[in-house]
């Protein structure tokens, strides 16, 4: 099977990575941020067209204030440090999510990075930040109704066209590090036919070799999208 065009990653395990080393949780997030850099480059080298990363969910506001502020700071630093490089490498940055409760300074940084890189086509790096899958669907339906849609106008296609991901294909492969087997409100609509790759490895340790292994395993999956397998023996 052809390689995945769109890979989405739930980058879990930063806190446990740090705890295992006697470090504060934020040190794990910092190391996780470093890892984003190398995985983005590897994705590009592997010919992946879309990479979506779950940086901050709408539920993450429930974490202690210092951790929330730390995550915001790391995202701001990442944008400051990486945007010019990513732009030079032909990477388009997109934001999936809302700006509700986000500091205006960070919002501006995100807007600027998105605007600067909007015409790049080699790889799209979509950062799910202040993102929730259910909210994504609710917003889409509200937009449709706000634009005067009738009940018949609400279809799978029209909802898809109003999601944050409206100009992206659905993820082919969803990777979750850190050992859990759940979606945690990530791309719940878009993931309907995705393949999943779960690993106990914590995100800061999920390196190039592990990323390649996930892509390799995806290559052995048979995607049927609800149809029967090809050459099914019981079909007349
Ligand atoms: C989950 O680990 C990870 C997060 C909630 C945030 C992920 C964010 C980053 C890697 C950094 C910011 C992103 C960018 C794009 C620069 P956890 O804290 O739930 O780990 P645990 O389950 O071990 O506690």
- What lies within 8 Å, CB to CB, of 210 at 6+ separation is 199, 201
179: domain range?
6-131+171-219
| Domains of the chain: total | 1
**Rounded to the nearest whole angstrom, what is the distance from the C-alpha of residue 21 to the centroid of ligand 1?**
16
**Which residues make Cβ contacts (< 8 Å) with residue 176, sequence separation at least 6?**
9, 10, 12, 182, 196, 197, 198, 199
Beta strands 173-176 and 6-10, pairing class? parallel
- The reply to whether 127 falls in a domain is yes
Question: Looking only at Cα atoms, what is the longest distance across the chain?
Answer: 63
- Contact between 171 and 196 under an 8 Å Cβ cutoff? The reply is no
CA of 92 to the centre of ligand 1 (A): 22
Q: Flag whether 143 is in a domain.
A: no
Q: Is there a domain that residue 147 lies in?
A: no
pLDDT of residue 234: 57
**pLDDT score for 146:** 98
75 lines ligand 1 (CB under 6 A): yes
Residue 141 lies in a domain: no
Is residue 63 a part of any domain in this protein? yes
- Residue 60 bears catalytic tag: yes
Cα 235 to averaged position of ligand 1 atoms, centre (Å)? 47
CB 38 within 8 A of CB 207: yes
156 within domain boundaries: no
* 86 falls within a domain: yes
Ligand 1 pocket: which of 15, 124, 130 to mutate (most atoms <8 Å of CB)?
Answer: 15
- 61 domain residue, yes or no: yes
CATH for 102: 3.40.1180.10
Number of H helices, E strands in the chain: 7, 6
Tokens standing for residue 13: 């395990």
45 part of the active site: no
Average pLDDT for consecutive 10-residue bins of the chain (236 residues)? 94 98 98 98 97 97 97 98 98 98 98 98 98 98 98 98 98 98 98 98 98 97 84 57
Q: What is the 8-class DSSP label of residue 163?
A: S
């Amino acid at each position: 099977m052809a390689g995945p065009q769109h890979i989405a990653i739930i980058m879990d395990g930063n806190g446990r990575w740090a705890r295992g080393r006697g470090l504060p949780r934020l040190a794990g997030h910092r190391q996780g941020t470093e890892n984003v850099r190398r995985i983005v480059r590897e994705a590009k080298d592997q010919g992946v067209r879309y990479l979506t990363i779950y940086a901050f969910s709408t539920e993450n506001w429930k974490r202690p204030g210092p951790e929330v502020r730390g995550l915001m700071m790391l995202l701001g630093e990442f944008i400051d440090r990486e945007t010019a490089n990513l732009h030079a490498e032909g990477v388009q940055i997109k934001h999936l999510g809302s700006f509700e409760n986000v500091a205006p300074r960070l919002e501006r940084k995100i807007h600027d990075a998105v605007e600067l890189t909007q015409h790049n086509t080699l790889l799209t790096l979509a950062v799910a930040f202040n993102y929730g899958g259910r909210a994504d669907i609710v917003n889409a339906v509200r937009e449709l109704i706000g634009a005067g849609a009738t009940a018949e106008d609400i279809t799978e296609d029209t909802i898809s066209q109003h999601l944050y991901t409206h100009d992206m294909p659905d993820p082919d492969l969803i990777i979750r590090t850190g050992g859990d087997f759940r979606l945690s409100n990530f791309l719940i609509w878009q993931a309907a036919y995705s393949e999943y790759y779960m690993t106990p490895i914590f995100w800061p340790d999920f390196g190039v070799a592990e990323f390649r292994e996930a892509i390799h395993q995806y290559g052995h999956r048979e995607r049927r999208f609800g149809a029967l397998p090809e050459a099914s023996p019981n079909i007349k």
